Structure 1
Amino acid sequence: MDSLRSGHGGIQMLLTAEQEAQHIISSARNLRTVRLKQAKDEADQEMALYRSNMEADHQNRKSQTSSESIAKQLEEETQIRIQSLKESALKVSPDVVAMLLNYVTTVKN
């Protein structure tokens, strides 16, 4: 009868050990799930920050390019206007010189 009790006690110990092992495994799975969720949340935050930085950088580059483009366009328009004024001056220059010579050489009493 002692061997039956010791066999029954051994089985009981095995069942208890199995339950403890199941609790440990369950706890480890829960911890792993929690940690995976934390890692995903951290990655999402990091990705959002990175995206925000990249978008800000893109906007800065875009505005710089836009400013440079506007400056270049204004420079081109200015050069065109300067050239137009030079051409106009060349056209009227002989008339202005003739008019000035006329006033300088005319004697009034």
Structure 2
Amino acid sequence: MDIMRGQGGIQMLLTAEQEAQQIVSSARNMKLARLKHAKDEAEQEAAAYRSSLEKEYERKVSETSGCSGSNMKRLEEETETKISSLSDATSNIRSDVVDMLLKHVTTVHV
């Protein structure tokens, strides 16, 4: 009878060990599932944040590009005005500069 009790005790220990392994396995699977779920949520949040930043960037680019067109036109007009005023100024003093250069080139100092 002691042998029967010993075998019954061993059988109970084996059964308890199998149950413990199932519990540990189940806990690991649940942990992996929670980690996967957390990772998926984090990726979704990151994608949403990235999307919102890209939209904000595109909005700012579109706002500034409208202004840059008007700024570009204004700068072109200012440049043309300055070029024409410089052309007028050079044409007014061109003959004086040429006369001065000829005088200095042709004058001999002894």
| TM-score class normalised by the smaller sequence | 0.5 to 0.7
Can you give the 5+ residue segments of structure 2 that lack an aligned partner in the other structure? 85-110
- Give the whole-Å Cα distance in 2 for the aligned partners of 1:64 and 1:78: 22
The 2-side partners of 1:48 and 1:76 are apart by 41
Task: Give SS of 1:51's match.
Answer: helix
Aligned to 1:63, the other structure's residue is in SS state helix
Q: Offset at 1:48?
A: 0.7
In the alignment, is residue 29 of structure 1 matched against residue 21 of structure 2? yes
Aligned Cα RMSD in Å? 2.1
TM-score (norm 2): 0.65
Equivalenced residues, count: 83
Q: Does residue 52 in structure 1 map to residue 37 in structure 2?
A: no
Write the deviation string for residues 71-106 of structure 1: whole angstroms up to 9, x where unpaired: 222221110123345567897xxxxxxxxxxxxxxx
Q: How far is 1:11 from its partner? A: 1.6
- Superposition pairs of residues 82-93 of structure 1, within 5 angstroms: 82-85=74-77
Alignment identity in percent? 5
- Give 5+ residue unaligned stretches, structure 1: 1-8, 92-109
Q: Give the distance between the partners of 2:76 and 2:26, measured in 1 at CA.
A: 74
- How far does residue 27 in structure 1 lie from its aligned partner after superposition? 0.4
Of the structure 1 ranges 18-27 and 71-80, higher mean CA displacement relative to structure 2 is found in: 71-80
Partners of 1:10 and 1:68 in 2: CA distance: 86
Runs of at least 4 residues of structure 1 off by over 4 A?
85-91
Taking structure 1 as the reference length, what is the TM-score of the superposition?
Answer: 0.65
Provide the residue aligned with 1:95 in structure 2.
Answer: none
